[in-house]
Amino acid sequence: MPGQLYDWTCSACSTEWLERSLGYARDADVYTSREAVVYAIGYPHNINATYGLMDGSGAELQRVVKEQTGADTDQGWLSFDETYLLAQETPGLMSGAAWYHWVAIRGVQGSTIWVANSAPGYKGIYDNVSREDFDRLGGFSVVWLA
């Protein structure tokens, strides 16, 4: 995943990745698509440079995914095991309360959750989230395709 240009746009980058992975890119240029997602989320009331995504549950991301792709989503504060099982079946989005960072869920690799991360290295996470990372950075809000 290309890196984010601004430190507050991880939720928009992850949402754009999910849309693109489902075949619903807003533009051929990833950065143009990301900007469109920022405005779809609702700049500056729902996402802004001061706080990033205002609602950590991901409710606005669910709305944007539904509007762009037509896909229904669910959301929950899930355990590692629940998230790992979902990641084997469907892509999604997740953010840890102590991480304050959104990533897209690609699948699994071995015993880890494979993610698309627009800020690789942030709090020690690159492309995979282990059980230990999950425990250190949780609780996790997870949005998945229903």
Does residue 5 form part of some domain? no
Diameter of the chain by CA atoms? 39
Residues 69-99 have pLDDT tens digits of 999 999 999 999 999 999 999 999 999 999 9
Does residue 53 form part of some domain? yes
Does residue 134 form part of some domain? yes
**CA 32, CA 13: separation in Å to the nearest integer?**
11
The pTM for the full model equals 0.97
Q: Strands 128-129 and 112-116: what pairing?
A: antiparallel
Does residue 106 form part of some domain? yes
Strand-pairing partners, residue 108, are: 113
**CA 95, CA 56: separation in Å to the nearest integer?**
8
Does residue 4 form part of some domain? no
Domain that holds residue 138: 10-145
Residues 100-125 have pLDDT tens digits of 999 999 999 999 999 999 999 999 99
Q: What is the CATH number of the domain that holds 137?
A: 3.90.70.10
Residues 24-33 have pLDDT tens digits of 999 999 999 9
Does residue 2 form part of some domain? no
The count of structural domains within the chain is 1
